[in-house]
Structure formats: structure tokens, C-alpha cells
Amino acid sequence: MVSASHRSGARVSFADWPYPAFVAHRGAGVLAPENTLVALRTGHSFGYRMFEIDVKLSGDGVALLMHDATLDRTTDGSGRVDAQPFEALARLDAGSWHSAGFAGEGIPTLERIARWVLANDAMLNIEIKPTPGRERETGAAVALDAQAAWRDTGVPPLLSSFSAVALAAAREVAPELPRALLLSELPGDWLERCMALGCVALDARHSLLDAALIAQAHDASLRVLAWTVNDEARADELFAAGLDALITDAVDRIAASR
Ligand code: G3P
Ligand code: MG
């Protein structure tokens, strides 16, 4: 159910946090080929209604789902993702590397995934993951695509990135879309960094988090997400410490609701 306050790009506030507590990582990127439509369908079949995806640009600026800067690990192509136009990338097989049953699965555009998410009562956490050197361009392009796809409908996607440059560019073109700063280490000025980017959330490697840190974030009106939590006991521990949401590969072991 979409609340009226989330239509027309209304801001997501601490009090009005619309997202579920369980988010499927890379779609459901272990049971199915990561960052593909079939990965999201798989997560959905296990009851997950929010999906983290990695998004970057093709050579001709199309926002698409891919974790790595190169094609080699997760497709039958090779070289940098941004060395080819999307027309060429669309012909690649992004499923066979995972298992034969997924042969022929393609690299989806963000636009295609947005349509599926909106049609299937789901939400997105779009990780802006630029290829090196394209941080600003990627942040702006992804935010504009998201703004267009969610205009007047649905719960806006949560944009996250390890790149402050990408988040700042996203903020410039679509200030109303909620942002989260991703951290793999905890710098002393993490809170200032979140505030400077106008973030609504801290999205941290789970091993960085404890009750004191989560309380500190909450005191600053920041929500807290943890990645990537694949252990049920650790999930329980983090929620007991006040965690708002976790990102997991283990959609078959960690129930999508509590
Ligand atoms: O968005 C959280 C998590 O996905 C960050 O790590 O490498 O899986 O994109 P990675
Ligand atoms: Mg990611």
C-alpha cells in the first residue's frame, strides 16, 4: 500500500520511513544471477518486497544493473561495462555464469526493473555504483531515471552509494529522493558526512554496527541499514540493537518479516 505522502516525490522522513526491515541483496543474487530480473522474481517468491541493486552506466549513458566495473565475472562478455553501448550489452548472457537454468537472462536497465517493481508492489534500494571516473555523471543519471520512473507513483527508491560525489550529484538533480551513505569502514566523521549529503540513512557493513552507534544515528534522525547479513543470529542481534533494515543474500533462510 502506497501512502499519499509518498506520491509526487514527497520526502522520506525519519518518522515516515516507508521501507521494510528486510531487503534482498542484488535482487536475490545468490539463489539466482545477481542484478537480473529473475533475481528479483526469486526474492519476491520468498516474500521479499524490497531489493538492493547495483546500478552503473553503459558507454552511451543507459543506467543498467551490474555490480562489477567489468563484464567478465557475471556475463559472457569482457572488458569495462562502459566501453560498450547498451545495445551491445543487451545481447550478453548474464545468467549462464550462475547456472545453466538461467542461460539467456539479460542485463536489465534500471527503467525495466523500475517498471517491474512498481507493478509488483515492491520497493528498491538503488546502489549507485559508478565505473571509476564516472561518479558524478552516474549519480545524476540514475537519480533522474528514478525520479522519472517514480513520478506520481509508488514509494520512492532509496538511493545509496559509497561515492559521496555520486550522492551529491543525485541530490543536485533530484533532492527529494532519499539518500543513504554506504560505509565499509567507519571514519571519525561518518555523521558529518551523512549530514553534509542530506542523507536519511546510514548503510553500513554490519560488523561496524552496535547499539551505541545505531542510537547515535537515530539521535541525528538517521535510519540505519546493515549489509550483508546472512546469519539469522546476527540479524536478531542487530534488530535488538535497534537496526531499521538489513540487506541479505539469505532470502531462503531469513524470513522477510518478523
Ligand atoms: O548496498 C550494500 C551492498 O550491496 C554493498 O556492497 O559490494 O555488495 O555492492 P556490494
Ligand atoms: Mg550493492
What is the 3-state secondary structure of the chain?
A: CCCHHHHHHCCCCCCCCCCCCEEECCCCCCCCCCCCHHHHHHHHHCCCCEEEEEEEECCCCCEEECCCCECCCCCCCCCEHHHCCHHHHCCCCCCCCCCHHHCCCCCCEHHHHHHHHHHCCCEEEEEECCCCCCHHHHHHHHHHHHHHHCCCCCCCCEEEECCHHHHHHHHHHCCCCCEEEEECCCCCCHHHHHHHCCCCEEEEEHHHCCHHHHHHHHHCCCEEEEECCCCHHHHHHHHHCCCCEEEECCCCCCCCCC
Give the Å distance between the CA of 149 and the centre of ligand 1.
23
pLDDT band at 2 (very low <50, low <70, confident <90, very high): very low
Task: Note if 25 is an active site residue.
Answer: yes
Task: Note if 6 is an active site residue.
Answer: no
What is the residue with the minimal CA distance to atom 3 of ligand 1? 227
Among residues of the chain, what percentage have pLDDT more than 90?
94
Entry pTM: 0.96
Give the Å distance between the CA of 30 and the centre of ligand 1.
13
For residue 175, the model assigns a pLDDT of 97
For residue 37, the model assigns a pLDDT of 98
Q: Is the pLDDT of residue 8 over 90?
A: no
- Could you tell me the domains of the chain? 4-69+107-248 (3.20.20.190)
pLDDT band at 61 (very low <50, low <70, confident <90, very high): very high
Q: Ligand 1, residues 202, 225, 228, 247: which to mutate, most atoms within 8 A of Cβ?
A: 228
Q: Ligand 1: residues whose CB is within 6 Å?
A: 25, 52, 54, 67, 127, 160, 182, 227-228, 247
For residue 11, the model assigns a pLDDT of 77
Find the ligand nearest to 206 CA.
1
Give the Å distance between the CA of 70 and the centre of ligand 2.
15
